[in-house]
Amino acid sequence: MSLAIATWNINSVRLRIDNVRRYLRLRKPDVLCLQETKCPDEFFPHAPFERLGYVHRLVKGMKSYNGVAILSKVPFTATEIHHRCGKEDCRHVEVALDVGGDPILLDNLYIPAGGDEPDPAVNDKFAHKLDFYREMAAWYAARKPKPGARKGLRRVTVGDLNVAPLEHDVWSHKQLLKIVSHTPVEVELFGRMQASLDWIDVPRRFVPADQKLYSWWSYRNADWRASNRGRRLDHILATPALSGALAGYRIDADTRGWDKASDHVPVLATFDL
């Protein structure tokens, strides 16, 4: 079977529900993971997803900030809502996708942006971001299959991870080294989390590291396409047990030009199971 998983920081699901519907009709992913839904659970717009066949849903939101959701055509079980760094701020949900045989564990993450000042001593938001990465690295490492395990762990992590880890994941490596999302300490912690389960960076499996690749363009750039000052903040990671199943990826940059666009665009990965 083929399995397509998409991730999108939608920056308010109710404000941009028409764009979500448009994307789902266009790409028809089996699973859509949203971040920054900015919507309390009781006001989440379930009906449009139900009509489009996304009958399996896990949402965890709050008023005005954060919020994550998993919308799926594929049944899932073992739903979990995780609270990180001693906070209950709707940043991590997990499900087990029923794809036959071993399930695929799916994490949807919205890692803190970190504010503007890359100094945890004076910026609590940045300190929170670094602590979140440290906690995730330890949490994943504790779930690593033991040597000699009969089957490898099939796990996918998606979301707005708010770090552009590689030199060509930003429009200017030199100019962004002191800008939150591309600082050395963030890149190091991203690498630590990636090493915790030997994660595969799915889009970079298909696009060499020396080629530019973005998923976010600031609202501050009036002509975002012409300036193309982007960053790759949205990620899909897969464990080695899924290496042979990786079939393709897509970043739909054109959605950045839609009416009422999010500053992030959808990233999609396809697995041939």
Percent of the chain whose pLDDT exceeds 90: 95
Mean pLDDT, residues 191-196 taken together? 98
Residue 221: the pLDDT is: 87
| pLDDT tens string 222-240 | 899 999 999 999 999 999 9
pTM, full prediction? 0.97
User: Listing from the earlier edge strand, what are the strands of the sheet with 267-272?
Assistant: 56-60, 68-72, 31-35, 2-9, 267-272, 246-251
Mean pLDDT, residues 191-213 taken together? 98
Residue 101: the pLDDT is: 84
Q: Are 87 and 135 in contact (CB under 8 A)?
A: no
- Tell me: pLDDT of 182 over 70: yes
- For residues 145 and 210, give the distance between their C-alpha atoms in angstroms, rounded to a whole number: 32
Specify the higher pLDDT residue, 140 or 152: 140
pLDDT band of 34, cuts 50, 70, 90: very high
Percent of the chain whose pLDDT exceeds 70: 99
- Tell me: pLDDT of 141 over 80: yes
Contacts with 100 (C-beta within 8 Å, 6 or more apart), sequence order: 1, 273
Residue 13: the pLDDT is: 98
pLDDT band of 150, cuts 50, 70, 90: low
Q: Are 236 and 156 in contact (CB under 8 A)?
A: yes
In 10 A of CB 40, how many CB atoms? 15
| pLDDT tens string 15-27 | 999 999 999 999 9
Mean pLDDT, residues 165-182 taken together? 98
Mean pLDDT, residues 110-136 taken together? 98
DSSP state string for 110-138: E-----S---TTT-HHHHHHHHHHHHHHH
Q: Which of 19-23, 31-35, 78-82, 212-216 has the lowest mean pLDDT?
A: 78-82
Task: List the domains of the chain with CATH numbers.
Answer: 2-272 (3.60.10.10)
Question: Would strands 2-9 and 31-35 be described as parallel, antiparallel, or unpaired?
Answer: parallel
The 3-state secondary structure of 29-91 reads CCEEEEECCCCCHHHCCHHHHHHCCCCEEEEECCCCCCCEEEEECCCEEEEEEECCCCCCCCC
The DSSP bridge partners found for residue 251 are 267
| pLDDT tens string 53-85 | 999 999 999 999 999 999 999 999 989 999 999
